[in-house]
Amino acid sequence: MDTLLTLLVGFAGGLAASIFGGFFGAAGGDLWAALKRRLGPPAPKAVPFDWKPEGDALEGLKWVRSFEVEKAELDRGYRIFLDSADGRPVYRINRLVRDYLMVVPASPELAKPTSDEARSPSA
């Protein structure tokens, strides 16, 4: 009798774990995706090669290759341009490489120090 009860309890526990494990796993995955969409940075938007932002001064904008974005931000003080329509960064495909639209600092005083100057201790 004890063996049969143990077998039934084990079977019921395995059945409940498979049902609720799948349910809670899927619900947890959906919750994680929703939180990531809401709290994470917005996904960049692809634009045509000849795209120009509306109402913005083009003199202060520059297309920067994807592998040079971090250097442009740290060394030259550039920042990623956010589209006024939806607040997302924009990029275009240029010879299989993404070019991101960045805002150039208005004056040299706004530019951050170069990475060499930032690493060296001030005397």
Question: Which three-class secondary structure state does DSSP give residue 103?
Answer: strand
Q: Into how many domains does the chain fold? A: 2
Residues 106 and 68 grouped into a single domain: yes
- pTM to 2 decimals? 0.54
Going by pLDDT thresholds of 50, 70 and 90, the confidence category of residue 91 is very high
Per-residue pLDDT for 99 more than 90?
yes
Residues 93 and 34 grouped into a single domain: no
- Can you read off the two tokens belonging to residue 16? 């409940």
Distance CA 2, CA 61 (A): 77
Q: Give the domain range for residue 32.
A: 1-40
Distance CA 90, CA 82 (A): 7
Domain assignment present for residue 8? The answer is: yes
Q: What is the pLDDT of residues 7-45, one digit of tens each?
A: 888 888 877 777 767 776 777 778 778 877 788 777 888
Residues 35 and 49 grouped into a single domain: no
Residues 104 and 67 grouped into a single domain: yes
Residues 50 and 27 grouped into a single domain: no
Per-residue pLDDT for 82 more than 90?
no
Going by pLDDT thresholds of 50, 70 and 90, the confidence category of residue 123 is very low
